[in-house]
Amino acid sequence: MSAAAFELQETEDGWCLEATGTWSLGAGLGNIDGKLRRFAEKSMSKALKIDLSGVETMDTAGAMMLQRTMRACSQREQMADDDALYGFDNVKEGYKGLLAAAANHLSPCEIDVNQGSAFVLMLERVGRGTEDLMHEILRLVSYLGEVLVGLYTVLSRPKRLRMTSIVHHMEESGLNATLIVGLMSFLIGAVIAFMGATVLAQFGAQIFVVELIGITVLREFGVLLTAILIAGRSGSAFTAAIGSMKLREEIDAMEAMGINPMEALVLPRLIAMVFVLPALTFIAAMMGLIGGGLVAWLQMDISPAMFLTRTQDIIVVENFMVGMVKAPFFAFAISVIGCYQGMRVSGSAEELGRHTTISVVQSLFTVILLDAGFAIFFMELNI
């Protein structure tokens, strides 16, 4: 198999290009591409004939290169659109289709040139982003309404509850997350104690580290960090599981069999999450107190008995209840967003990954937004 080559001869009517060898992508077309382009630039006003008698093999790349060279000739502009073999001599029967296909795809792609100032383009991007955000909020609110209607229907008819599925998701979302939630909260409590000891020691008030640990862990960090961890762990799992079913058309099959995907897929996950997140919050609060108490004992000589006594005297029940009240709302938001993004997956595995990422981001944002709202609410109530 010889490499692609060509010879040029100038005639009275113009130029004659004799192509020889193998005109395919792996046979040296790249080596002669520059030469053909330079020739085309110099001979745009002259007629051209291309002799293909010496061509051994040709593929689409070779046909495109020859047609591009032919089009550079001025007479190429005047030929009929359907005459794809104009200017070619000794064309074998098998190459006519390639040359015809190449002739129909030589037009350059149109380039969308952004015009205008950078400031205008920035405003346009912000406007489109705001519009997309509003549409996303409307779709999410609409889906929330569907969830509430489905939840009311199921709770009004308890026989429609899928208890096996609920217990399964309670195990997956709650029981299997106990270890990581407990360890994280233990370490967070220890870190708070270390930081409090460092700052309070400057004022000789190390004993107040008990109040610092109790209030921050019971009121804020216990429930907030647990919700963030569950959003990244279980919320994304909800999106991935439902999204995979969407890609495999399993949800369409369920609807064809008369099974409501809302009752079979979404509500069991929602109910399970609402039950397990308060339990995980309680575990996180206790482990945070244990971690902080251990550091207070080892670093500040605050005995466990003194730590417990001050906790009972200073830390009122309201602080614990404030943290526990937030948990069901966080759980509801995480599960609804996770299932909603899973239901929106379509097309490809890339979409599944994108919606899983969006699910985690939206869940974290919603959890923090709800926490800020609760903080303002309880502050107004002086709790």
Residue 47 and residue 118 in one domain = no
**Whole-angstrom Cα distance, residue 74 to residue 67?**
13
Q: What is the largest CA-CA distance in the chain?
A: 110
For residue 47, report the phi and psi dihedrals to the nearest 5 degrees: -70, 155
Question: What is the residue type of 242?
Answer: I
pLDDT at 183: 93
Residue 352 and residue 242 in one domain = yes
Residue 252 lies in a domain: yes
CATH number for 58: 3.30.750.24
Residue 134 and residue 173 in one domain = no
- DSSP bridge pairs for 51: 18, 89
Q: 371 CB contacts (<8 Å, ≥6 apart)?
A: 220, 224, 326, 330
pLDDT at 1: 63
Q: How many C-alpha atoms does 323 have within 13 Å on its Cβ side?
A: 30
pLDDT at 277: 94
Residue 36 lies in a domain: yes
Q: Which domain, by its residues, includes 144?
A: 113-159
Residue 83 and residue 207 in one domain = no
Residue 330 and residue 257 in one domain = yes
Residue 256 and residue 122 in one domain = no
pLDDT at 82: 53
pLDDT at 160: 86
Structure tokens at 66: 């020859």
pLDDT at 45: 65
Residue 108 lies in a domain: no
Which of 61, 81, 103 represents a domain boundary (last residue)? 103
Pairing of strands 5-10, 14-23: antiparallel
pLDDT at 80: 47
pLDDT at 339: 93
**Exposure of 181 by Cβ count < 10 A (0-12 exposed, 13-18 middle, 19+ buried)?**
buried
Residue 84 and residue 122 in one domain = no
pLDDT at 44: 64
pLDDT, one tens digit per residue, over 332-359 is 999 999 999 999 888 778 889 899 999 9
Residue 190 and residue 246 in one domain = yes
Residue 73 lies in a domain: yes
Residue 247 and residue 99 in one domain = no
Residue 334 lies in a domain: yes
Residue 39 lies in a domain: yes
Q: 159 CB contacts (<8 Å, ≥6 apart)?
A: none
Structure tokens at 379: 């502050």
Residue 95 and residue 118 in one domain = no
Report the chain's terminal Cα–Cα distance, integer Å: 87
Angle, CA of 332, 336 and 341, to the nearest 5°: 155
Residue 217 and residue 338 in one domain = yes
Kindly report the pTM of this predicted structure: 0.68
**Exposure of 292 by Cβ count < 10 A (0-12 exposed, 13-18 middle, 19+ buried)?**
buried
pLDDT at 112: 60
Question: What is the residue type of 141?
Answer: V
**Whole-angstrom Cα distance, residue 108 to residue 284?**
62
Which of 94, 129, 159 represents a domain boundary (last residue)? 159
Q: How many separate domains does the chain show?
A: 3
Q: 213 CB contacts (<8 Å, ≥6 apart)?
A: 189, 192, 193, 196, 288, 289, 292, 293, 296
Residue 215 lies in a domain: yes
Listed residue (366, 334, 349, 351) closest to 238, CA to CA: 334
Residue 11 and residue 45 in one domain = yes
Positions in the chain short of pLDDT 70: 1, 43-45, 74-82, 107-116, 314, 316
Q: 61 CB contacts (<8 Å, ≥6 apart)?
A: 23, 24, 25, 29
